Amino acid sequence: MDPIMDRLDWVDIDKWIMGEAIIGSQLDRHLYEICERIGSRWAGTSGDLHAAEYIREQFESFGLVNPHLEGFDLDTWDYSHSSSRIVEDGLELTVQPMLNCPSIDLTAPLIDVGFGMPDLIEQLRGRLPGSIALVSEPFEPFSTQKPLPDRLTELANAGCAAAIAVDGRDGGRIEYLKATDKRRHERAGQVMPHPLPCVQTHKEDGIRLRRAASEGKSINIKIVSRSFVTPAFNAVAEIPGSTMPSEHAVLSAHIDTYPDSPGANDDGSGLVTTLEVARLFALMAKELGVNPGIGVRFCAYSGEEQNHQGSASYVQKHYGPETPPRFCLNLDELSAGSMKGMVVQMPHTQQVVQNALDDLNEGLQCYTMPLLEHMNDGFSFTRSAIPVILLWRWRFVGRNSASDFRAEAWDTPDKLPMGELKEYVAFIARTLLRLSHVPPSSWPANPETAPAIEDRLESELGTVARTM
Ligand SMILES: [Zn+2]
């Protein structure tokens, strides 16, 4: 342990944090306010703004420094109508547009393209121009996984006029999807046009559509939507560093949700955990006289579900004029499973994080992700070569079944494992405090550059990021 960390009484600090995170927990109160009373928070809507204001007020009540909202212009989208019917028999089917789907009113033959993999597209090539493709959203189980946006692009290239993606889960559920891959965007936060108009349906109507396609029937799809620019707001506050005030780290989560979703797991869980860690840090300074070594900025972003526009705007506004943070620890979908450790995007940070985890003495591990993760706000930092730390929890082992609920109306707070979330709060506070006290000389120099990151992204296009 380095001399600065050595000066703190970690046993007393850890006991205080564990006690306050569990006995003093305010997770319930925040979740009720954000996910129940405010509810859905599609970026740029009043729910999103109310939640940003609530978070700013909480930051202020904890006694954090400079709690404020930072506005930005959000490239947004919504829809007012979505319907579909089989032309020959008039049967109405449930469809919902993929995010950013343009308006369409189209009648065309329906062609079942399976999972939309290249071999089947090749077999059907003569029939695809002008058709509506019916494609399974999950990965085809027997070949190398191919991202859905890439499969949709190949259908567009083959001449399809529109696509209907079928959700893989039972029970009328439809999880909002995107038709574009953020790794193909020229800059963080960009919104790209659909390769072709794409809608979604649930598994049960997908089965009816498969039958209709096999009988050579046609389908009508009507979507009325609009794209426009509207103001949106990130909420930001900080606690100054006691030993290295010129440096800081970021702890963040996102405020916004998918349309009509209360967003409990995604990302109410990360948001209330950020609020709790902020409260613990502020209270710890008052009650124990213990402060972080470098400053900590608490950021709650809008626009995550809309191509990370809030975090992209935050990074662009601050870093360049100001020194970038030592790292960004981003929290998203925390109800996923028991804690296993942390993952980093850049190998030079792995050992420093591992040292902090070792100091907790709980057998937690830090790994470097083999691919750049583009599915959360950390991606805006990664694209500026700022080190990102994420929690490593679920993708392979011990995933909670409730973590299957994300981009839909059923992502409700009753599914959150509250005991586990309280442990997350304590774990993150203890680890972040330790990392804040690592002196600059103990961090290896950051060898990454934004152009090198872009090259790496280019080489990873078409792959499925099986991370965490
Ligand atoms: Zn999220």
Distance between Cα 357 and ligand 1 center (Å): 25
Task: State pLDDT tens for residues 325-334.
Answer: 999 999 999 8
Tally the domains of the chain. 2
Q: What is the CATH number of the domain that holds 368?
A: 3.40.630.10
83 located within any domain: no
Distance between Cα 304 and ligand 1 center (Å): 7
Note whether 456 and 340 are same-domain residues: yes
Greater confidence (163 vs 461) lies with 163
CA distance 162 to 147: 18
Q: What is the CATH number of the domain that holds 188?
A: 3.50.30.30
Our measurement of the distance from residue 352's CA atom to the centroid of its chain's CA atoms, rounded to an integer in Å, reads 25
Greater confidence (81 vs 393) lies with 81
Q: Please report the pLDDT score of residue 12 as a whole number.
A: 95
User: Predicted confidence band at 466 (pLDDT cuts at 50, 70, 90)?
Assistant: low
Lowest mean pLDDT among 200-214, 301-315, 393-407: 393-407
Task: State pLDDT tens for residues 168-225.
Answer: 999 999 999 999 988 888 888 888 899 999 999 999 999 999 999 999 999 999 999 9
User: Predicted confidence band at 468 (pLDDT cuts at 50, 70, 90)?
Assistant: low
Q: What is the mean pLDDT of the chain?
A: 93
Q: Which of 172, 187, 216 is the last residue of a domain?
A: 216
Closest-CA residue to 303 (of 372, 233, 379, 383): 233
Q: Please report the pLDDT score of residue 8 as a whole number.
A: 86
Distance between Cα 54 and ligand 1 center (Å): 19
Note whether 311 and 187 are same-domain residues: no
Distance between Cα 255 and ligand 1 center (Å): 9
Domain carrying residue 277: 3-76+229-460
Q: Please report the pLDDT score of residue 143 as a whole number.
A: 86
pTM above the 0.85 mark? Answer: yes
Task: State pLDDT tens for residues 89-138.
Answer: 999 999 999 999 999 999 999 999 999 999 999 999 999 999 999 999 99
Note whether 306 and 397 are same-domain residues: yes
Note whether 112 and 255 are same-domain residues: no
User: Predicted confidence band at 396 (pLDDT cuts at 50, 70, 90)?
Assistant: low
Q: What percent of the chain has pLDDT over 70?
A: 97
Q: Is it the case that residue 450 has pLDDT exceeding 70?
A: yes
Q: What sign has the CA pseudo-torsion 319, 321, 324, 330?
A: negative
Distance between Cα 263 and ligand 1 center (Å): 8
Distance between Cα 248 and ligand 1 center (Å): 24
Greater confidence (248 vs 5) lies with 248
Note whether 191 and 255 are same-domain residues: no
Distance between Cα 269 and ligand 1 center (Å): 9
Note whether 382 and 255 are same-domain residues: yes
Q: Is it the case that residue 403 has pLDDT exceeding 80?
A: no
468 located within any domain: no
User: Predicted confidence band at 395 (pLDDT cuts at 50, 70, 90)?
Assistant: low
Task: State pLDDT tens for residues 419-443.
Answer: 999 999 999 999 999 999 999 889 9
Q: What sign has the CA pseudo-torsion 367, 373, 375, 380?
A: positive
Residues 6 or more apart in contact with residue 172 via CB below 8 angstroms: 94, 202, 203, 204
Distance between Cα 254 and ligand 1 center (Å): 7
Note whether 211 and 251 are same-domain residues: no
Phi, psi angles (nearest 5°) of residue 421? -65, -40
Distance between Cα 466 and ligand 1 center (Å): 16
What is the mean pLDDT of the segment spanning 364-372? 90
What is the mean pLDDT of the segment spanning 21-42? 98
Note whether 71 and 164 are same-domain residues: no
Q: Please report the pLDDT score of residue 404 as a whole number.
A: 80
